[in-house]
């Protein structure tokens, strides 16, 4: 090894990177199965669609021509943006597609934040807003949930002159609670365009409530609003990594400057295009989620455990034991759930709705591990 006395990570790496706790992704299923000694794995940890992608998207995947893998995809997801804009009656330039909604979070933070700025979100929500802000060197102000809901007044109270973005997860992952249209509008009216408001609608297609707001329809009234959607949840394309944001043209024109071209692969673009047409797939998925939520709720009530469930395809359960221990014990029986200590909900787990077989496997495994 060549000796380099002047090489110093200490000097090269910013303090906010050194102090950032890296996220450790879970191992691939076959590795986990070896580790926990199970020969089957029910994945109830990531809110994936148990029905998979819509049939038309599956067909596109089967027919994808291998030669196309050698060709760069459309750099701005041209046809997908065109289709999305037709569907919503907007301009294609109001859409920005990314490598999952996760990537569009980074676009937004890069666009608006500079040294000394902060963002505001909840303490118990999808953690990527907080993480991206922090590893980019910005303060993330975390407002405690109130009764499992995003606390609108609490968030407004934390705004200062360096606040650039407020992130609202609607419905919230993991609690399922949502702001209705009146509440969201009041919040936006109070902000009066001074900050960017992001509404993350990753579970939009699962919500059947009358008063649930369609953020995209509110864009007309609020030029500082940005809406996130994804193909990972309802559309069953999590593995292809495709999500998008929608905003007013001026706002999206700024955000587009921060995108690295070609981050969205060609297969994902084609599959997403086909997935958008399939309303029947949405109906079938909603039916499954509704039925399995009812089944799971009834079973958990029988065990006298506390639950938190509202919209979305998941339920939280409070266990009379450590959630990380429960995770390991459930894994040994081939059931993967999300332990919630990382979401600041110690002793809680989050279970995604799966096939009836998977839900029965979960309940049976849970009964065996309860003290």
Ligand X SMILES: *Cc1c(COP(=O)(O)O)cnc(C)c1O
Residues that bind ligand X (CB under 6 A): 47, 100-102, 126, 169, 173, 200, 202, 230, 232-233, 238, 243
Tokens 């580790």 -> residue: 35
Between residues 163 and 230, which has the closer beta carbon with respect to ligand X?
230
Q: What is the DSSP string of 67-91?
A: GGGGSPPPTT-HHHHHHHHHHHTS-
Between residues 208 and 357, which has the closer beta carbon with respect to ligand X?
208
Q: 160: number of CA atoms within 13 Å, CB side?
A: 8
SS3 state at 18: helix
DSSP-assigned letter for residue 136: T
Least CB distance to ligand X at residue 129 (A): 9
Least CB distance to ligand X at residue 217 (A): 20
Least CB distance to ligand X at residue 242 (A): 7
Between residues 101 and 289, which has the closer beta carbon with respect to ligand X?
101
Least CB distance to ligand X at residue 106 (A): 10
CA distance linking residue 371 with residue 361, whole number of Å: 18
Closest residue to ligand X using C-beta atoms: 100
Phi, psi at residue 56, to the nearest 5°? -65, -35
Least CB distance to ligand X at residue 200 (A): 5
Between residues 184 and 365, which has the closer beta carbon with respect to ligand X?
184
Tokens 């760069």 -> residue: 72
Least CB distance to ligand X at residue 263 (A): 12
What is the b/e burial string over 93-127, where b = at least 16 CB atoms within 10 angstroms of the residue's CB? bbbbbbbbbbbbbbbbbebbbeeebbbbbbbbbbb
């Amino acid at each position: 090894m060549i000796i380099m006395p002047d090489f110093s990570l200490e000097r090269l790496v910013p303090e906010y990177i050194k102090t950032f706790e890296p996220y450790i992704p879970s191992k691939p299923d076959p590795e986990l199965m070896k580790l926990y000694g199970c020969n089957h794995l029910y994945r109830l940890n990531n809110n994936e669609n148990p029905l998979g992608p819509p049939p038309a998207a599956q067909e596109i995947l089967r027919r994808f021509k291998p030669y196309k893998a050698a060709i760069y995809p459309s750099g701005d997801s041209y046809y997908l943006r065109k289709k999305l804009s037709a569907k919503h009656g907007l301009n294609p330039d109001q859409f920005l597609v990314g490598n999952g909604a996760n990537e569009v979070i980074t676009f937004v933070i890069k666009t608006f934040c500079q040294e000394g700025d902060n963002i505001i979100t909840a303490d118990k929500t999808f953690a990527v807003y907080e993480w991206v802000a922090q590893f980019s060197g910005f303060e993330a102000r975390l407002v405690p949930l109130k009764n499992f809901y995003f606390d609108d007044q609490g968030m407004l109270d934390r705004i200062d002159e360096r606040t650039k973005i407020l992130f609202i997860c609607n419905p919230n992952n993991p609690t399922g609670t949502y702001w209705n249209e009146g509440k969201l509008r009041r919040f936006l009216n109070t902000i009066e365009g001074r900050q960017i408001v992001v509404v993350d609608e990753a579970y939009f297609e699962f919500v059947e409530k009358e008063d649930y707001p369609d953020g995209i329809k509110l864009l007309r009234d609020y030029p500082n609003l940005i809406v996130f959607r994804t193909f990972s949840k309802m559309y069953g394309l999590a593995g292809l990594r495709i999500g998008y944001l929608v905003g007013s043209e001026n706002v999206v024109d700024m955000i587009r400057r921060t995108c690295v071209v070609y981050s969205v692969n060609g297969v994902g673009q084609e599959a997403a295009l086909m997935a958008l047409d399939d309303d029947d797939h949405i109906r079938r998925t909603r039916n499954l989620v509704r039925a399995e939520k009812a089944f799971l709720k009834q079973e958990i009530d029988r065990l006298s455990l506390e639950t938190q469930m509202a919209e979305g395809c998941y339920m939280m359960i409070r266990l009379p034991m450590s959630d990380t221990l429960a995770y390991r014990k459930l894994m040994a029986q081939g059931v993967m759930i999300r332990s919630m200590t990382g979401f600041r909900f110690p002793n809680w787990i989050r279970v995604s709705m799966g096939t009836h077989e998977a839900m029965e496997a979960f309940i049976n495994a849970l009964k065996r591990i309860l003290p």
